[in-house]
C-alpha cells in the first residue's frame, strides 16, 4: 500500500525551528533589558506578548497537523477535517495578533532612536497603517462565517463571505506589511549613514537593521500561494501559506529582538578583548548623560571604536567652541601629555518636541547625536 501524501511534517519542522529562534532572541532581549540596561520598556512588553501569541499560533498549528493539515480531504475522516479546519481558523486569529504586536513593538523601538521630526512621522504613519490593516484583516477573517463555527462545521445552517474577499484582503495586508518592514529597515540605515561615526560601527549596525527586511521576504514568497484559499482541497493546498506565515512571524520577532541586544554584543566583545575604548564609555540612554569625561592618553592605534558601541561620535571642527573642554595631566610620558575632550550634544528635533524626556522604563540605548572630540598635545620642558 502506497504511503498517504502528508506535508504536515514540513510544517512541523518550520514551526520548531522558528519557535526556537524567536524564543531564544526574546529571552536574550529580556536579559539585556533587565540585567544589562536595567529598564524594561513598552516595546519589550509588546514583543513578549507577541512571543506569547506566536507560541499560541504554533500550538494550534501543530494540533491542526495532528488532525489533518497538510493532507488530502479524501484521506481524512470527516471529524478530523472539522478539527483541522477549526485549528486553522484559530491560526488566522493568532497570526493577526502576533504581527500587529510585533509591528507596534518595532515601531516604538525606532521612535526612540530617531531625532528628526519627519522620520518620527514616517514611523508613526507606517505603524498606523500596519495596525489598521492588521485589525481589519483580523476582523474579516474572524467573522467571515456566520455562525463562526460554520467555517469548520458545514453540517449546520450558515453562510460565509465570498472567499475572493479574503484573498483580496490578504493581498492588501501583505502589501502593507512589506512596506512597513522595508520602511522600518531602511530608515534606520539612512540615519546611520548620516552619522559621523567610523565605518566599522556602521558596518556592524547595518546588517542588524536589515534583518527587519527578512520577514518581508516570507510575505513576498507567500504571494503566489494566496490564491490557494479557493482550492476545494483546502488542508492540502494551503500548507505553503501556513509555512510562510509561520516564517514571517518567527523572523519578525527574531529580528525585532536581535536589534536590541547590542549591549550584550559589546559585553562579549569586551571580554574577548575586541573592545578598546567603547566598553569603557557609559552607554547613552541609561540615565547617564554624556557630560565632560576624562581619559588617559592612548596611542592613535588604540583609539579604534568598539564596533558594537555607539557611545561617541565625531563632530565638525567649528562646533568645538560650543562644548566644554577639560585637561588632565597624564604621567608616564617624556613630557606632559594632555588630552582635551569636548562633549557636544545636538539639539534633537523630534515629533515629541524639545521637552521630550526619558522615562523610567525606556529600555534602549538611545542613538543620539552626542559625542566627544579628543585633542591631544605634548608639552615638553626645555632646560636653558
Instruction: Please tell me the number of Cα atoms within 13 Å of 267 on its side-chain side.
Output: 9
**Beta-bridge mates of residue 379:** 336
Tell me, what's the pLDDT at 188? 76
CA distance 15 to 3: 24
Nearest to 368 by CA among 180, 186, 196, 187: 196
Contact 114, 191 (CB under 8 A): yes
- List Cα–Cα distances, 153 to 82, 213, 260, 345, in angstroms: 6, 38, 44, 64
Tell me, what's the pLDDT at 303? 41
Instruction: Please tell me the number of Cα atoms within 13 Å of 21 on its side-chain side.
Output: 18
Tell me, what's the pLDDT at 339? 45
Residues 6+ apart with CB under 8 A from 263: 32, 36, 37, 283, 365
CA distance 99 to 363: 21
Tell me, what's the pLDDT at 57? 97
**Beta-bridge mates of residue 344:** 371
Tell me, what's the pLDDT at 135? 93
Tell me, what's the pLDDT at 359? 43
pLDDT in tens, 136-187: 999 999 999 999 999 999 999 999 999 999 999 999 999 988 888 888 878 8
Tell me, what's the pLDDT at 85? 95
pTM of the entire predicted model: 0.72
Which CATH entry fits the domain spanning 8-260: 1.20.1070, 1.10.150, 1.10.10, 1.10.357?
Answer: 1.20.1070
- Please, where in the chain does CATH 1.20.1070 lie? 8-260
Tell me, what's the pLDDT at 68? 93
Tell me, what's the pLDDT at 291? 39
Below-70 pLDDT ranges, the chain: 1-2, 195-197, 201-202, 204-212, 275-384
pLDDT in tens, 259-290: 888 788 788 878 887 754 444 444 433 433 33
Tell me, what's the pLDDT at 212? 64
Asked whether the CA dihedral 365, 262, 201, 280 is positive or negative, the reply is: positive
The arrangement of strands across the sheet holding 370-379 comes to 327-330, 336-345, 370-379
CA distance 92 to 70: 16
Amino acid at each position: 500500500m502506497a504511503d498517504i501524501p502528508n506535508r504536515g511534517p514540513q510544517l512541523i519542522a518550520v514551526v520548531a525551528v522558528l519557535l526556537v529562534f524567536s524564543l531564544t532572541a526574546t529571552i536574550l532581549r529580556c536579559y539585556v533589558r533587565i540585567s544589562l540596561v536595567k529598564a524594561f520598556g513598552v516595546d519589550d512588553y509588546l514583543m513578549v506578548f507577541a512571543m506569547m501569541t506566536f507560541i499560541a499560533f504554533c500550538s494550534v498549528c501543530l494540533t491542526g497537523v495532528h488532525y489533518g493539515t497538510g493532507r488530502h480531504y479524501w484521506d481524512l475522516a470527516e471529524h478530523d477535517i472539522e478539527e483541522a479546519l477549526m485549528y486553522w481558523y484559530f491560526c488566522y486569529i493568532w497570526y493577526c495578533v502576533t504581527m500587529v504586536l510585533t509591528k507596534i513593538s518595532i515601531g516604538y523601538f525606532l521612535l526612540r532612536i530617531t531625532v528628526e521630526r519627519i522620520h518620527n512621522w514616517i514611523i508613526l504613519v507606517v505603524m498606523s497603517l500596519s495596525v489598521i490593516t492588521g485589525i481589519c484583516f483580523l476582523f474579516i477573517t474572524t467573522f467571515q462565517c456566520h455562525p463562526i463555527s460554520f467555517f469548520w462545521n458545514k453540517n449546520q445552517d450558515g453562510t460565509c463571505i465570498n472567499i475572493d474577499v479574503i484573498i483580496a484582503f490578504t493581498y492588501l495586508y501583505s502589501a502593507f506589511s512589506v512596506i512597513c518592514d522595508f520602511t522600518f529597515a531602511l530608515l534606520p540605515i539612512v540615519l546611520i549613514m548620516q552619522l559621523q561615526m567610523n565605518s566599522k560601527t556602521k558596518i556592524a549596525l547595518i546588517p542588524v537593521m536589515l534583518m527587519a527586511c527578512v520577514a518581508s521576504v516570507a510575505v513576498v514568497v507567500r504571494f503566489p500561494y494566496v490564491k490557494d484559499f479557493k482550492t476545494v482541497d483546502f488542508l492540502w493546498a494551503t500548507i505553503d501559506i501556513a509555512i510562510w506565515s509561520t516564517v514571517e512571524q518567527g523572523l519578525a520577532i527574531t529580528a525585532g529582538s536581535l536589534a536590541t541586544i547590542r549591549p550584550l554584543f559589546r559585553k562579549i566583545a569586551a571580554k574577548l578583548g575586541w573592545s578598546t575604548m567603547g566598553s569603557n564609555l557609559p552607554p547613552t540612554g541609561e540615565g547617564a548623560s554624556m557630560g565632560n569625561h576624562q581619559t588617559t592618553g592612548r596611542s592613535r592605534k588604540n583609539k579604534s571604536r568598539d564596533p558594537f558601541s555607539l557611545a561617541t561620535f565625531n563632530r565638525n571642527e567649528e562646533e568645538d567652541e560650543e562644548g566644554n573642554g577639560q585637561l588632565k595631566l597624564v604621567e608616564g610620558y617624556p613630557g606632559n601629555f594632555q588630552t582635551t575632550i569636548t562633549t557636544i550634544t545636538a539639539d534633537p528635533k523630534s515629533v515629541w518636541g524639545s521637552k521630550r524626556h526619558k522615562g523610567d522604563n525606556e529600555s534602549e540605548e538611545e542613538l543620539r547625536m552626542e559625542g566627544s572630540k579628543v585633542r591631544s598635545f605634548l608639552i615638553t620642558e626645555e632646560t636653558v
